[in-house]
Chains A and B, each alone.
Chain A
């Protein structure tokens, strides 16, 4: 009985690894959404949400993604709701790709990811600059976007292995 309960708890933790990574990266002081250093940064959370919502949406519920966005905004002192909107738009793009794709293709995913983050950053820029008149360096934003795009394959591979590991454990 005790053994069964322990296995159930372990299985629950394994299944929810993406959720834990998401909240850890949002709540941790070491910004995983503006990773590495102040000069060289990329948005880890964008890759995380895109991958898991594309490959295994049940493991990363959109309601939790929405709350992660709110937490991120509160901690980063940005517009409350903006990160949630960004994350949900990534979910829309990955959902769309999942529905129209018959044979999954990495290159296609990568290009869609680029288009999605370009769109999201444009929306961010529009909301922050034109509606709320908030000052920020566009170059840094663009650089962050570019590095996020370049780093996508590395995390795609890591997450693919993690997904395999989780599925194997659950089987």
Chain B
């Protein structure tokens, strides 16, 4: 136990001392994850709105693909994306290899199926007649979209938070396309690997602790959002 306590002690000292590199890494992680989530939302929400009304074959297939995409191993995405970004490849002209934009792109692509699948699921829980009724009252397409987003807001908030959380913790694709370069493309999760490789165990633990703290904060926000919804719902006992 002395070993564990010693490590924790040093890690906390590192966090309390406001280690410059640690703060910088945490901010970079948040920045990458927020950007990726934002881009994924911009592309994913319209897609989810379209897919949620899954009455045509194309929409059902799209929904199936989004659901399947949730399980895509990040390293697979990473390796193909990295290949596309090689100087002599189609996206080579961007010169993004081993640079932050590549990391954000990888994170965005990973976040997209999460946003689409979870948002579509949230939108599908709306009462069946709601949008038809709005349409019967003459609501335009954008008005109906707004109504749907408003009604499903708790589920959508959960989708956003899940997306952020997975972007914060992701390590496979980030390391492959970003190269895990200290001070440029490393995130909290990938810095754990760097620190361990450099035999800086307290540093690795400090990274992990900050990451967990961020995720717990997200979980707390989600719980508060969901409690706002269920506060007045009464639970009737079953037989």
- Chains A and B bind each other: no
Interface residues of B (CB under 8 A from A): none
